[in-house]
């Protein structure tokens, strides 16, 4: 459900939605053409460009493609989920089938559950019991992942392992809804890797390590501490006033609090929606404002941005509970444990 700041904003967006600009979504169609044309154009001319140029370009285009997939699953540029899925099904970003990403991301849009480790599939927090049960090396790695450098270097590896682990867990539990999507994705990926190797001179290992993993690292910059711990769900999502190259790469998803309030607004309108009511959004999200990704880098390059164990709901569910809750597709409403608000004040 969209959340409007007031009736004036509701009316403005209703009027905008009826405009030719929004109805045709030509900026999104343009991005689709540029991404697909650029990706395959770079791949076909990789030897002429040189792999030292082609692979970084493919990494940027693959990260941009992931931003496009995010738009597609939110109903852009068409109202047909099947057509949008067809546009976003190509395994250019390698690691995640579109259907799996769509399911988990829409689950993530339950704002009441944001950051809860057993309910939010995109949370970087874990339960306190799960945290204390982990070995020292894993705790060190997870703490490093909460630094800006760690999110870029090892964050993608954590995401890949978690996605594959979740797929295996679901299949073992008898939930095979994602299995056809995985099989189609793997088959398409195999064909793509063979084509890259034989037609473009890019070996699978080189592509995976030199383009697709770095693409995840670029996307990890956007998701770095997008959601903080806060009692009020409206104050959990960040607004990042990033420079225009980042905004274009991430299709304005840096205005993340606005996107969570209005997930149906197309990417090309988010910036205008935010700037028209900038001060109101700062009040609504509790002043959770970052002035560009450089601020994250300066402040948290090697220092954790947040604890790994959730300070509000940390001890409620252990690893087994987390897995079963995700397989079941939800979680019960768990109230903050005693002393949690005091720990939240200490973190803040």
The owner of tokens 């948290």 is: 300
pLDDT in tens, 278-333: 999 999 999 999 999 999 999 999 999 999 999 887 554 433 333 323 322 333 33
Q: Taking a C-beta distance cutoff of 8 angstroms, is the pair 314, 337 a contact?
A: yes
pLDDT of residue 337: 43
Cα–Cα distance, 277 to 5 (Å, whole number): 9
| Model confidence at 336: pLDDT above 50 | no
Q: Taking a C-beta distance cutoff of 8 angstroms, is the pair 112, 120 a contact?
A: no
Using alpha carbons, select from 225, 250, 236, 256 the residue that is nearest to residue 124: 225
DSSP single-letter state for residue 337? P
Q: Taking a C-beta distance cutoff of 8 angstroms, is the pair 239, 281 a contact?
A: yes
pTM of the full predicted structure?
0.89
pLDDT of residue 120: 92
pLDDT in tens, 132-190: 999 999 999 999 999 999 999 999 999 999 999 999 999 999 999 999 999 999 999 99
The length of the chain, given as a count of residues = 348
| Model confidence at 270: pLDDT above 60 | yes
pLDDT of residue 314: 52
Both tokens of 112, joined, read: 């009441």
Q: Which residue has better confidence, 225 or 341?
A: 225
| Model confidence at 344: pLDDT above 70 | no
pLDDT of residue 347: 45
DSSP single-letter state for residue 174? T
**Averaged pLDDT score across all residues of the chain:** 90
pLDDT of residue 334: 36
Cα–Cα distance, 106 to 49 (Å, whole number): 39
Q: Which residue has better confidence, 6 or 331?
A: 6
Range 36-59 average pLDDT: 98
Q: How confident is the model at residue 129 (pLDDT cuts 50, 70, 90)?
A: confident
The owner of tokens 């592509």 is: 207
Alpha carbon distances (Å) from 326 to 171, 261, 322 = 13, 24, 6
Any bridge partners for residue 239, and if so which? 289
């Amino acid at each position: 459900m969209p959340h409007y700041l007031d009736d004036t904003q509701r009316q403005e967006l209703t009027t905008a939605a009826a405009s030719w600009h929004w109805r045709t979504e030509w900026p999104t169609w343009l991005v689709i053409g540029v991404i697909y044309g650029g990706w395959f154009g770079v791949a076909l001319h990789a030897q002429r460009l040189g792999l030292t140029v082609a692979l970084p370009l493919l990494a940027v285009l693959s990260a941009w493609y992931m931003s496009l997939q995010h738009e597609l699953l939110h109903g852009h540029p068409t109202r047909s989920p099947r057509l949008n899925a067809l546009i976003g099904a190509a395994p250019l970003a390698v690691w995640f089938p579109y259907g799996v990403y769509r399911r988990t991301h829409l689950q993530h849009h339950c704002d009441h559950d944001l950051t809860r480790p057993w309910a939010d599939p995109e949370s970087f927090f874990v339960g306190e019991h799960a945290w204390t049960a982990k070995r020292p090396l894993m705790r060190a790695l997870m703490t490093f992942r909460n630094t800006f450098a760690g999110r870029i270097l090892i964050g993608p590896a954590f995401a890949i392992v978690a996605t594959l682990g979740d797929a295996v867990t679901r299949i073992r539990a008898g939930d095979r809804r994602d299995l056809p999507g995985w099989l189609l994705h793997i088959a398409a990926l195999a064909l793509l890797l063979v084509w890259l190797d034989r037609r473009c001179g890019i070996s699978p290992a080189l592509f995976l390590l030199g383009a697709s993993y770095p693409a995840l690292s670029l996307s990890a910059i956007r998701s770095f501490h997008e959601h903080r711990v806060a009692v009020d769900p409206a104050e959990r999502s960040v607004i990042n006033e990033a420079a225009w190259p980042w905004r274009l790469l991430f299709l304005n998803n840096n205005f993340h609090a606005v996107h969570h309030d209005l997930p149906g607004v197309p990417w090309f309108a988010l910036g205008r929606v935010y700037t028209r009511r900038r001060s109101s959004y700062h009040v609504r999200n509790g002043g959770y404002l970052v002035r560009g990704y450089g601020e994250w880098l300066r402040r948290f390059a090697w220092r954790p941005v947040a604890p790994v164990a959730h300070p509000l709901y940390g001890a409620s569910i252990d690893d087994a509970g987390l897995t079963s809750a995700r397989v079941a597709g939800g979680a019960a409403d768990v109230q903050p444990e005693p002393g949690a608000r005091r720990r939240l004040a200490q973190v803040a």
